[in-house]
Amino acid sequence: KAGVTQTPRYLIKTRGQQVTLSCSPISGHRSVSWYQQTPGQGLQFLFEYFSETQRNKGNFPGRFSGRQFSNSRSEMNVSTLELGDSALYLCASSLALRRTGNEKLFFGSGTQLSVL
Amino acid sequence: DQQVKQNSPSLSVQEGRISILNCDYTNSMFDYFLWYKKYPAEGPTFLISISSIKDKNEDGRFTVFLNKSAKHLSLHIVPSQPGDSAVYFCAASASGGNQFYFGTGTSLTVIP
């Protein structure tokens, strides 16, 4: 079974540009979550999608948006990039994240975004 | 507001000894806890989990302990091996919630 796939692995952008990151979840997984990892900040939750609907959103500005397609693949978009957006962006999938008791997240390798 | 805290950014342990990684949480609604391990340039991988109905869960060299009254959990690795050198994140979630809350991570170095 293929794991969570994120593309691209590395991205370099300049301030003011926008970027789109892609995530393909494990087959059969319907929930996709996005996290931002920066040094010293751990994993900060961005948002979670289930069946093409955003179910939960973290405390990030509106420049960060996402969507999920009918095949559960997800994209994350950041507009008007700022230097502080430089981070590792991680996508994670799970069956349903409905607290079945044994739910866990499966992460991709991430997209390392550098904003110059 | 950091609801899950890992107060030790780093930890060094001799090979063969015990590694103890700690995690504290503030939200009493959390009832499911996980530990993830992360190597550089890779995504976190699931290590072990525990439900609030238990106070201990073991999986090989890894044991997680949960103290609900203290809102504290710990991960014990015995014996520690050089391949265990990585960043460890604890995470928590609440029943009915759609979000996991992660700590800031502890970088473990196992010295051969």
* Residues B17-31: tens digit of each pLDDT: 999 999 999 999 999
Q: Measured between beta carbons, which residues in chain B are less than 8 angstroms from residue A101? A: 32, 51
With tokens 């691209």, the residue in question is A8
In this prediction, residues A27-54 reach a mean pLDDT of 90
Q: Looking at chain B, which residue has its C-alpha nearest residue A34?
A: B99
In whole angstroms, give the CA distance from residue B73 to residue A76.
Answer: 33
Query: Long-range contacts of range A46-52, CB-CB < 8 Å, 24 or more positions apart?
Result: A46/A76, A46/A89, A48/A97, A48/B98, A48/B99, A49/A74, A50/A96, A50/A97, A50/B98
In chain A, % of residues over pLDDT 90: 77
Mean pLDDT of A69-93: 95
CB contact under 8 A, B34 and A33: no
Decide if A106 and B46 are in contact by the 8 Å CB cutoff: yes
Backbone torsions φ then ψ of B84, nearest 5 degrees:
-80, -10
Contact flag A48-B98 (C-beta cutoff 8 Å)? yes
Q: Where are the beta strands (DSSP E) in A51-100?
A: 53-57, 64-68, 74-78, 87-94
Q: How far apart are CA A112 and CA A36, in angstroms?
A: 10
Give the rounded distance of the alpha carbon of B48 from its chain centre: 8
Tell me which residue of B99, B92, B95 sits closest to B6, measured CA to CA. Answer: B92
Rounded to the nearest angstrom, the minimum Cα separation between B46 and chain A is: 7
Secondary structure percentages of chain B, helix, strand, coil, to 5? 5, 55, 40
Say how many Å lie between the first and final Cα of chain A, rounded. Answer: 37
Residue of B nearest to A57 (CA): B99
Give pLDDT, residue A103.
75
Decide if B45 touches A, using CB distance below 8 A: yes
Chain mean position to CA A30: 14
Alpha-carbon span B104 to B88, nearest angstrom = 9
**pLDDT in the model for residue A20:** 97
Quote the minimal CA–CA distance from B30 to chain A in Å.
11
% of residues, chain A, pLDDT over 70:
93
Search chain B and give the residue with CA nearest A5. B43
> CB-based contact (8 Å) between B39 and chain A?
no
Q: What is the mean pLDDT of residues A43-55?
A: 92
